[in-house]
Amino acid sequence: MIGGAELHNGSPLQNIVSVRSGTAGNREVPRHGEDRHSIGESIGQNDPAGVDESPARVVIVARQDRRGGAQQPARPRAAAIVAVDHQGHSTRTAIDNVGIHHNIAIDDVAGLISLVQMGTLELHPWPAREDNVERPDYLVFDFDPGEGTTWKEVIRGAVEMRKLLEDVGLTTFLRTSGGKGLHVVIPIDRRTTWDDFKQFAKSVADRMTREAPDRYIATLSKAKRRGKIFIDYLRNQRGATAIASYATRRRKGAPVAVPIAWDELGAKTRPDMFNITNLPKRLDKLKKDPWADFFKVRQSITAKVQAAFE
């Protein structure tokens, strides 16, 4: 997975900008920022910087120069690639990374544990995989309620989008955001460019706002959102992100973004109803993964599908 991670003070690596763990390959990804740069092989001496030596195979650490003080923004100074084997031995190569932005990429549980050890609370993937970042593979629509809207209206919006998309043959999945709303998620075969991907997402949101302008809005202006639901399609562009499934949120009560089945959606459902305390109980009781078919679905944004929203 590649993407952004929210890191917090108290981490063993407070000055970390981004990390990477894992080797290249065919994997699913959390996504954020620009695509990953190739920055060399890991060679050199034992790691002198006190990096937490988790079982992750590769960690890229970008550090910031904090000597600028409060009046100046922190600036990239240097990066290092640290290879850590499963016995905890590490090697490091320093790299000049001024002007280069690195992203997180993990492909196993060890990599995820590494992020947790660094104090990561939120994982925000971008919709592409590391082996082909120029071809996104799922759409996310965030139904974000404005002041004065009700939960019933949020549910109605998600259901209406589901019908619109399934009428043109696109299978949809549902997720509580762990925040204020719901996410409608659509897996897509990796055939579409970022420009076409974003344009299609915009056309879907625009269609809903045209048909119900009193209930929906698809622009960022918070001043215009009162009494309406913001259909956030802007997460479907290169460098944009959305919270990952089963990721914790930096909110009171430690809520978690959780995949749910469409038939679970109802008046008692809440966007923050699952948290780090009650989620294990839910998982123990589940008879079937509500997203069991997510990686099995094969569907594309064809010319016919695009035309339905023009």
What domains are defined for the chain? Answer: 2-125 (no CATH), 138-239+250-307 (3.90.920.10)
pLDDT of residue 51: 34
35 — pLDDT class (breaks 50, 70, 90): very low
pLDDT score of 107 more than 60? yes
2 — pLDDT class (breaks 50, 70, 90): low
Cβ 87 vs Cβ 78: under 8 Å: no
Span 67-95, average pLDDT? 43
Q: Give per-residue pLDDT as tens, 213-236.
A: 999 999 988 888 899 999 999 999
Give 79's strand partners.
Answer: 62, 95
pLDDT of residue 7: 46
pLDDT of residue 252: 93
Span 95-112, average pLDDT? 67
Span 124-140, average pLDDT? 90
59 — pLDDT class (breaks 50, 70, 90): very low
Average pLDDT of the chain, as a whole number: 75
The whole model's pTM is what?
A: 0.72
pLDDT of residue 99: 52
